[in-house]
Amino acid sequence: MTDLVIIGGGPAGMSAALAAYEQGIRDILILERDSSLGGILQQCIHNGFGLHKFGEELTGPEYAWRYEEKVRALNIPCKLNTMVLDISDQKVITATNREDGIFQIRARAIILAMGCRERPRGALNIAGARPAGIFSAGTAQKLINMEGYLPGKEVVILGSGDIGLIMARRMTLEGAKVHAVCELMPYSGGLARNIQQCLHDFEIPLKLSHTVVEIHGRERLEGVTIAKVGGDRRPIPGTEEHIPCDTLLLSVGLIPENEISKSAGIDLDPITGGAVVDQDRQTSCQGIFACGNVLHVHDLVDYVSDEAELAGKSAAAYLQGASAPACSISLKTGNLVRYTVPQVITEKKPVTVYFRVADVRRKVQVQVWSKDRLLYSKKKASVAPGEMEALALSAEILDDVTALTISIKEEQA
């Protein structure tokens, strides 16, 4: 029996482990599938990490090292090259590696910190051929930064999320020509600074409201047809344009990697793809917590670390015999709000609710409703799907309610 098993040794897993340790938990085990701690940060060799957390711009590996150093100094045990295969609802974890074979660990508490994966081409059903040369942006990043191989030289990127933008610059720096970054939406989902530093600075065209409609090439990719899309996000006939290229990178969304959470019977939120959690990041399975990109996809790793600290503290409190849930207030999504985290509140204490909107809007009010009673309202200059919103709720607001609806009021409808 292990007190606390943390699945995933990326930024979320390490922060959670350190937070639990600080609260006095000593019997901790981190299970990591890669050969080192750090997760996806290891291949993110660009800078821009840690501005919020450390007040300086770090590279991914540097950010990871700040945490890994502490994990090592505290001698928190880790098993590397270890893949978790299954979690039971009894908190029995089945995992495998070369040395131990397939083994089981019973945990008193578990923190899920498995991160997310990229959506593949298949999820988009782009028509055309299936040649070599189509990679998810993260796979290309791994090939270049970790393995030292350039996947191709003439590049089109579909999706202007941050990974797509970062890879446009990275491919350019390695001598490839990036012909265009196409974005289905009329706005980029990436950070403004990345659009400037990764595209504009290198004169790479960003084609908003464009998508790839056909893939050409029998063996290696030979080109893509792109087209403009209308308000319904469907291609507009007659706007097709052929771009010869040998590489197509896809940066078309991230999906929390919750396959093993399902095996434990944890309730998942169909919108986030992550677990349904309370304010302590506890899932529907008592003693199982979730944090980081496995819970919902974050904009910045700094926020992942914050959330993981909360989960680590909560897991420690659970292990030290915290009291049972005091209430159950469900958080519902109103106008323009896609999801909230947490989805449920079980204790009447101040809580920060994170949420994402479905579309770009200017001049709005963020509102909190209990049935038809408006409890809170705050003006905001703009909201966008690419930026997670945070909303601090006081304990008083939770008095005497069973459900709260978070909603966006549009000033000029």
Partner 1 sequence: MFDVAIIGAGVVGGMIARELAAYDLKICILEKENDVAMGATKANSAIVHAGFDAKCGSLKARLNVEGSKKMAQVASELGVKYQNNGSLVIGFDEADREALQELLERGNQNGVEGLRLLEQEEVLAMEPNLSSAVTCALYAPTGAIICPYELTVAAIGNAMDNGAELKRNFKVTAIGQEDDHYILFSSMDSVRARYIVNAAGVYSDQIAALAGDESFKITPRRGEYILLDKECGGLVKNTIFRTPSAKGKGILVSPTVDGNLLTGPTAVNIEDKTDKTTTAEGLAQVMKEAIENVPSIPYGKSITSFCGLRAAGDTGDFIINSPRPGFINAAGIESPGLSASPAIARMVKDLLAEQGLELNEKTNYNPLRPAMHHFRETSLEEKNAIIQKDPAYGQIICRCEGITEGEIRAAIRTEPKPMDLDGIKRRTRAQMGRCQGGFCSPLILKILAEELHLPIEKITKSGGASRMIAKAIKED
Enumerate binding residues for partner 1 (CB under 8 A). 33, 81, 83, 85, 96-102, 117-118, 120-123, 125, 127-133, 135-136, 138-139, 142-144, 146-153, 174, 176, 213-215, 218-220, 246-247, 259
Phi-psi region of 148 (alpha: psi -120 to 50; beta: other; left: phi over 0): left
Which CB sits closer to partner 1, 43 or 314? Answer: 43
C-alpha distances out from residue 306 to 6, 189, 303, Å: 16, 22, 5
Residue 135 beta carbon to partner 1: minimum distance, rounded to whole angstroms: 8
Which CB sits closer to partner 1, 50 or 60? Answer: 60
Q: Cα(348)–Cα(353) distance, rounded to whole angstroms?
A: 13
Residue 75 beta carbon to partner 1: minimum distance, rounded to whole angstroms: 25
Give the H or E element holding residue 169: helix 162-173
Residue 321 beta carbon to partner 1: minimum distance, rounded to whole angstroms: 34
Give the residues across from 101 on adjacent strands: 97
Which CB sits closer to partner 1, 176 or 383? Answer: 176
Residue 108 beta carbon to partner 1: minimum distance, rounded to whole angstroms: 23
Per-residue b or e along 336-353, where b marks 16 or more CB atoms closer than 10 Å to that residue's CB? bbebbbbbbbebbeebeb
413 Cβ neighbours under 8 A, 6+ residues apart:
none
Which CB sits closer to partner 1, 267 or 302? Answer: 267
Is the CB of residue 49 less than 8 Å from the CB of residue 193? no
- What 3-state DSSP class applies to 55? coil
Residue 144 beta carbon to partner 1: minimum distance, rounded to whole angstroms: 7
Residue 386 beta carbon to partner 1: minimum distance, rounded to whole angstroms: 21
Which CB sits closer to partner 1, 213 or 319? Answer: 213
Per-residue b or e along 70-101, where b marks 16 or more CB atoms closer than 10 Å to that residue's CB? bbeeeebebbeebebeebeeebebbbeeeeee
Residue 129 beta carbon to partner 1: minimum distance, rounded to whole angstroms: 5
Q: Cα(307)–Cα(292) distance, rounded to whole angstroms?
A: 6
Which CB sits closer to partner 1, 151 or 386? Answer: 151
Which CB sits closer to partner 1, 135 or 369? Answer: 135
